[in-house]
Structure 1
Amino acid sequence: MAGDFYEALGVPRGASADEIQRAYRKLARQYHPDVNRDPAAEDRFKEVSEAYGVLSDAEQRRRYDRFGADFRRVPEDYEERAGRGPGGRTVYTSGPGVGGFEDFDFEDLFSGVFRRGGRGGPVPGADQEAELTLTVEEAYRGGHRRLTLGDRDLDVTIPPGVVDGQRIRLAGEGGQGSGGGASGHLFLVVRIAPNPRYRLDGRDLVMDLPVAPWEAALGATVPITTPGGEAKVRVVAGSSSGRRLRLRGEGLPNPRGKPGDLYAVVKIVVPRSLGKRERDLFEELSAVSDFDPRGA
């Protein structure tokens, strides 16, 4: 990725982990292709995702701060030796527990010196991590997503019912090994974007259910939209605002157990304006009813 990871997220180099996470989430919501149709938004989303994938990992961030944009090409088992080589050039050597590699100059690091094959054996690549932002509907039904991270295009299979914080492993898509070592894994951490209709509580979904005063008082069966499609919920007579009506199994699926539930929270809504007949009926109800909503 061209540019600086800190600049991509709009944070200073000394930013805390929380500041980096807040910056990423703000930008991810702004540029996610599902909510921003600007053709340039997808590229910006990929840029901030890659930057966060590095800066949210303490070890990767340390290496990035030390070696810059080419940090992935520096073997992880090398540490800087105190002192300088000929001409004042920085000299590196293998770290503790990894013997047999010959010393080398930093300027030679990217000229293919490691392709000669060290005598210490193959070194596996590092695991990497990035965030994958999904809508509630995507988390519910699963599916496929094509991602671009850095210079790689990846096809990701999203299992139905993933929850916020769950990790999806892409085997062999992490850092490249050296000396014939296997590549590491890439872990995608699921983040579910805020939704105007649903609120998440684990695998349970919570939504507001607007009802008319007469529906709440007399009872009614009303249609609702769930991530799985249309459904109907029975509003019990005498329901007040705040009453939770449960639809079993209509929350996020669970491949290994019981699915979540959907809770529709009653919200009584009154007409903004009344016709003459409606006003007469409400006035008549007011006159004959002894109900006191503020009573004990």
Structure 2
Amino acid sequence: MAADYYEVLGVPRTATAEEIQRAYRTLARRAHPDVNKEPGAEDRFKQITEAYHVLSDPQRRRQYDLAGVGAGVGAGARAGASAGPRGAPGGFRDIDLEDLLGGLFGGGGGGGMGGGFGAVPGADTEAEVTITLEDAYRGGRRTVTLHGGGRYEVTIPRGVTEGQRIRLAGQGSHGLGGGPPGDLYLVVRLRPDPRYQVSGRDVTVRLPVTPWEAELGAKVPLTTPGGEVRVDVPPGSSSGRKLRLRGQGLPNPRGNPGDLFAEIRIMVPPHPGADERRLFEKLARVSTYDPRSSG
């Protein structure tokens, strides 16, 4: 009985076209007879290519799935077994393996296997690139150096987020037998910064204020990843209060930007002068406010 094509490629039956292609590139490079001289490598390579030839073509994949053969198209499909796939009426469809493969190993096959070994596209590769939050806000061109030593000119999209992938076409592994190179995907990591907390496109930044600014209200400057802004501190603000600045989080080229949250932190003078100390002492005498009181 023929092998299950999904098992050959090591992908689930729900695999996307991208997952199937990625699995094929990886396996084909390992088994390609130009690289792998172990016994059985050639047969393994042909099996991998056969599986990819079927599963990468939407129509052939549908035929293969409708055949309902758990372990390849093989005998059941050609024999026209009476029991349908998973109880479906009408039995297996009359699908011939040669028809399904489209002459893959014959003279006119689409797989290019005829008299030799086919061209194998290079594998897609991934690498991480770390950028600052300011870079994510602005975007633009920059040179990145990867751990392997490669240097690339990369366009950082404005508003890029943690985990987003940047595709560099043709910069992946080299192909075999004249196959095209794969792609390089840079996975974005935002450099940790104690000044900011990032959640998706929302950014929280600390806003230090004096006791009198917090009590009386004030308009104060705030440095953000996107530049300096002015923030209105409402009177009677306590530490921990968050002021929302709509649309001033990470930009979003395809939708609404995130928000910026300024978290108030009340700061006192570490070394107050004589006059400042007298004023604080006077405030302590006249004020009846008790923050520890439940009332």
**What TM-score, normalized by structure 1, do the two folds share?**
0.62
More moved, 130-139 vs 152-161: 152-161
1:232 aligned residue: 230
The 1:168/1:95 distance shift into structure 2, 3 A limit, reads farther
- CA–CA separation in structure 2 for the residues paired with 1:145 and 1:118: 46
1:132 aligned residue: 129
Q: Contact 2:134–2:225 at 8 Å: present in 1 too?
A: yes
Q: Contact 1:78–1:95 at 8 Å: present in 2 too?
A: no
Q: Does residue 1:249 correspond to 2:247, yes or no?
A: yes
1:98 aligned residue: 46
Report the CA distance between 1:199 and its aligned residue. Answer: 1.6
The root-mean-square deviation of aligned C-alpha atoms, in Å, is: 2.7
SS at match of 1:191: strand
- CA–CA separation in structure 1 for the residues paired with 2:149 and 2:226: 35
How big is each residue's C-alpha offset from its partner over 1:39-97, in whole Å with a ceiling of 9 and x where there is no partner? xxxxxxxxxxxxxxxxxxxx9xx99xxxxxxxxxx932348xxxxxxxxx965622535
1:142 aligned residue: 139
Amino acid at match of 2:139: G
- CA–CA separation in structure 2 for the residues paired with 1:213 and 1:220: 11
Matches within 5 A, 1:58-207: 75-78=29-32, 91=39, 93-96=41-44, 98=46, 119-149=116-146, 150=148, 152-207=150-205
Amino acid at match of 2:256: K
Report the CA distance between 1:283 and its aligned residue. Answer: 2.0
- CA–CA separation in structure 2 for the residues paired with 1:275 and 1:151: 55
Amino acid at match of 2:180: A
SS at match of 1:278: helix
> Where has structure 1 moved over 6 Å in runs of 4 or more?
none
Q: Contact 2:205–2:224 at 8 Å: present in 1 too?
A: no
More moved, 190-199 vs 213-222: 190-199
* Structure 1: gaps spanning 5 or more residues: 1-58, 64-73, 80-88, 102-116
SS at match of 1:157: strand
- CA–CA separation in structure 2 for the residues paired with 1:118 and 1:242: 73
2:282 aligned residue: 284
SS at match of 1:123: coil
Q: Contact 2:32–2:45 at 8 Å: present in 1 too?
A: no
- CA–CA separation in structure 2 for the residues paired with 1:236 and 1:172: 54
Higher-Rg member (1/2)? 2
1:275 aligned residue: 273
Q: Contact 1:78–1:92 at 8 Å: present in 2 too?
A: no
**What TM-score, normalized by structure 2, do the two folds share?**
0.62
The 1:216/1:95 distance shift into structure 2, 3 A limit, reads farther
Amino acid at match of 2:142: R
**If each structure's strand is expressed as a fraction of its own residues, which one has the higher value?**
1
Amino acid at match of 1:295: S
- CA–CA separation in structure 2 for the residues paired with 1:249 and 1:166: 20
Aligned residues: 202
Amino acid at match of 1:228: G
* Structure 2: gaps spanning 5 or more residues: 1-22, 50-113
Q: Contact 1:249–1:260 at 8 Å: present in 2 too?
A: yes
Report the CA distance between 1:280 and its aligned residue. Answer: 2.2
Sequence identity, in percent? 56
The 1:148/1:233 distance shift into structure 2, 3 A limit, reads closer
SS at match of 1:75: helix
- CA–CA separation in structure 1 for the residues paired with 2:270 and 2:151: 52
Amino acid at match of 2:31: D
The 1:95/1:140 distance shift into structure 2, 3 A limit, reads farther
